[in-house]
């Protein structure tokens, strides 16, 4: 009996893993078009302690979203690859990926020169590939609960609908300030 239960659990785990891999290949579909320049953000603020991302234009809020962070989201500033932390500091959105394994993604320019220098002195990689992204492709049904735990590897996670809105409002080059 225990062997059958264990077999069923393993089978389900393999099926979920396979589903995730297939959905990652399928992707997010067509990304939304950018909004007109006068409706786009000119700054992003992330409040890690509040689990909140805010889009600003001329200092006024034009969007606010509940977020999930890295599994060690309250552990301070990201220092090394694999630490499950979300970086803190001022960066910019420097490129975007419409075909990422998560629903769309905007790249945060971590590590900056100071982050890289600190990692070099300490003798390890600072990590990278920090993104603002939606849920993993195929897992959009988790939108209502995604913010209940920190599930990313250091990225900033939002729902897929929110990611489509953020994608259309945030041009490349937008500064992002990530606060504790």
CA 74 vs CA 71, 114, 129: distances in Å: 8, 21, 19
The one catalytic residue in 107, 146, 147, 155 is 155
* Residues 105, 96 contacting (CB under 8 angstroms): yes
Q: Which of 103, 107, 133, 146 is catalytic?
A: 133
- CB atoms < 10 A from the CB of 57, how many? 16
- CA dist., res. 104 & res. 106, Å (int): 7
Residue ranges of alpha helices (H) inside the chain are 2-26, 113-122, 160-169
Task: Tell me whether residue 155 is one of the annotated catalytic residues.
Answer: yes
Residue 19, helix vs strand vs coil: helix
Return d(Cα 152, Cα 131) in angstroms, integer: 10
133 is catalytic: yes
Please check whether residue 78 is in contact with residue 87, taking contact to mean a CB–CB distance below 8 angstroms. Answer: yes
Q: What residues are annotated to the active site?
A: 133, 155
């Amino acid at each position: 009996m225990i062997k059958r239960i264990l077999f069923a659990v393993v089978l389900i785990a393999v099926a979920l893993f396979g589903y995730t891999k297939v959905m990652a290949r399928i992707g997010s579909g067509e990304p939304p078009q950018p909004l007109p320049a006068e409706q786009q953000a000119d700054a992003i603020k992330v409040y890690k302690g509040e689990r909140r991302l805010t889009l600003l234009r001329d200092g006024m809020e034009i969007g606010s979203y509940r977020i999930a962070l890295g599994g060690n989201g309250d552990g301070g500033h990201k220092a090394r690859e694999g630490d499950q932390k979300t970086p803190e500091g001022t960066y910019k959105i420097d490129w975007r990926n419409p075909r990422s394994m998560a629903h769309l993604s905007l790249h945060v320019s971590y590590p900056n020169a100071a982050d890289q220098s600190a990692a070099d002195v300490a003798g390890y990689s600072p990590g990278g590939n920090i993104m603002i992204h939606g849920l993993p492709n195929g897992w959009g049904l988790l939108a209502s609960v995604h913010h209940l735990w920190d599930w990313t590897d250091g990225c900033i996670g939002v729902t897929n609908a929110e990611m489509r809105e953020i994608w259309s409002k945030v041009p490349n080059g937008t500064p992002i300030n990530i606060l504790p």
